[in-house]
Structure 1
Amino acid sequence: MKLAAFIATTALTATTAFADGHVDRTGWPESFTVGTASQGGTYFAYGSGWANLVAEELGLTGGGEVTGGPMQNMALVHTGDAQFGMTTMGPAAESIAGTNPIAPGLQMTNACAMFPMYQTPFSVTALASSGIESIADIPDGARIGFGPAGSTSDTYFPRMMDELGVNYERRNGGWSDLGGQLQDGLLDVIAFAAGVPVPAVSQLEVQTDVNIIEFTEEEQAQIMAAFPVSEFDIAADTYTTLESDARSVSMWNFAIANCDLPASFVNAVVDVVMSDNERMVNIHRAARSTLPENWTKNAGVLPWHPGAAQWFVENAGADIPADQIHGN
Structure 2
Amino acid sequence: MRLPSTKLLAGTLAGTLLVAASAAAQDRSDWPESFTVGTASQGGTYFVYGSGWANLIADELGLSGGGEVTGGPNQNLALVHTGDLALGLTTMGPAAEALAGESPLAPGVPMDNVCALFPMYETPFSITTLADSGIESIADIPDGASIGFGPAASTSDTYFPAILEELGVNFERRNGGWNDLGGQLQDGLIDVIAFAAGIPIPAVSQLEVQTDINIIEFTEEEQAQVLEAFPVSPFMIPASTYQTLEEDARAVSMWNFTIAGCDLPEDFVYEITKLSMENNDKMMDIHRSAATSVPENIQYNTVLPFHPGAVRWYEENGYEIPDDLKL
Q: Considering the TM-score relative to the shorter chain, is it more than 0.5?
A: yes
Q: Separation in 2 of the partners of 1:273 and 1:161?
A: 36
* Map of 1:320 onto structure 2: 321
Q: Separation in 2 of the partners of 1:114 and 1:214?
A: 32
Specify whether residues 135 and 272 from structure 1 end up closer, same or farther in structure 2 by C-alpha distance, changes over 3 A only: same
Q: Percent identity?
A: 71
* TM-score (normalised: structure 1): 0.92
Q: Separation in 1 of the partners of 2:322 and 2:129?
A: 45
Query: In the comparison of the two structures, how many residue pairs are matched?
Result: 307
Q: 1:40 aligns with which of 39, 43, 50?
A: 43
* Map of 2:311 onto structure 1: 309
Q: 2:175 aligns with which of 123, 148, 172?
A: 172
* Map of 1:13 onto structure 2: none
* TM-score (normalised: structure 2): 0.92
> CA offset at residue 23 of structure 1?
7.1
In structure 1, the gaps of 5 or more residues are 1-16
Within 5 A, what are the aligned runs for 1:84-233? 84-233=87-236
Specify whether residues 147 and 125 from structure 1 end up closer, same or farther in structure 2 by C-alpha distance, changes over 3 A only: same
SS of 1:224 mapped into structure 2: helix
> CA offset at residue 318 of structure 1?
1.9
SS of 1:118 mapped into structure 2: strand
Q: Separation in 2 of the partners of 1:190 and 1:178?
A: 7
SS of 1:232 mapped into structure 2: strand
- Output the amino acid matched with 1:96: L
> CA offset at residue 25 of structure 1?
1.1
* Map of 1:10 onto structure 2: none
In structure 2, the gaps of 5 or more residues are 1-19
* Map of 2:9 onto structure 1: none
Note if contact 1:141-1:169 (Cα within 8 Å) is conserved in structure 2.
yes
Q: Separation in 2 of the partners of 1:287 and 1:63?
A: 18
Q: Separation in 1 of the partners of 2:285 and 2:97?
A: 32
1:265 aligns with 2:268: yes
Aligned structure 1 segments of 4 or more residues deviating by more than 4 angstroms: 20-23
Note if contact 1:45-1:284 (Cα within 8 Å) is conserved in structure 2.
yes
1:288-314 CA-partner distances (Å, limit 9, x unpaired): 110110011102x00110001111111
> CA offset at residue 26 of structure 1?
2.6
1:266-297 CA-partner distances (Å, limit 9, x unpaired): 01011111111111111101101101100111
- Output the amino acid matched with 2:218: F
SS of 2:311 mapped into structure 1: helix
Within 5 A, what are the aligned runs for 1:5-44? 21=24, 24-44=27-47
> CA offset at residue 261 of structure 1?
0.3
1:48-85 CA-partner distances (Å, limit 9, x unpaired): 00000000000000000000000000000000000000
Note if contact 1:109-1:303 (Cα within 8 Å) is conserved in structure 2.
no
Within 5 A, what are the aligned runs for 1:40-79? 40-79=43-82
Q: Separation in 2 of the partners of 1:197 and 1:324?
A: 31
> CA offset at residue 265 of structure 1?
0.2
SS of 2:27 mapped into structure 1: coil
